[in-house]
Amino acid sequence: MTSKKKIQVYSKVNKMNENTGMRALLGKRMTKKVAFMGESKSLEIAKLTVAEVLEIQEAAKGDENDDKAGFNSLKIAIRMAVSEASDFTDDEFDEFPLDELMKLSKEIMTFSGIADTGK
């Protein structure tokens, strides 16, 4: 006697291409436009990655009492999030108004989900 039952076979091999789903998004940068110094031309900022946030946090250790160290971590965040500023020197940063750099840094941190939004 022969049986005509079909046996369903389950493969343990993942047939999904490695470049689908969440893996396909690795390295993708989310960006948005923000105003800077009241200019009509806006800057594009990128969300910081976990690695970038950790680097900024490491640089910010001890910033509470050291204005220079705090300014250094602000510059690091701007260099990471604003592609146009990635190669700015410290002297070039010194030419901007401090409050404008602070606003830009806060915008970056809020967009990246690591700043108090006041809500």
Give me the mean pLDDT over the 82-90 stretch: 94
Which pairs from 32-35 meet CB under 8 Å and 24+ separation? 32/111, 34/104, 34/107, 34/111
Q: Who contacts 105 (Cβ-Cβ below 8 Å, separation ≥6)?
A: 74, 77, 78
pLDDT grade, residue 34 (50/70/90)? very high
pTM of the predicted model over 0.85: no
Closest by CA position to 37, among listed 109, 111, 104:
104
> DSSP H helical segments within the chain, as ranges?
50-60, 67-81, 90-93, 98-111
Percent of the chain with pLDDT over 90: 50
Biggest alpha carbon–alpha carbon distance for the chain: 91
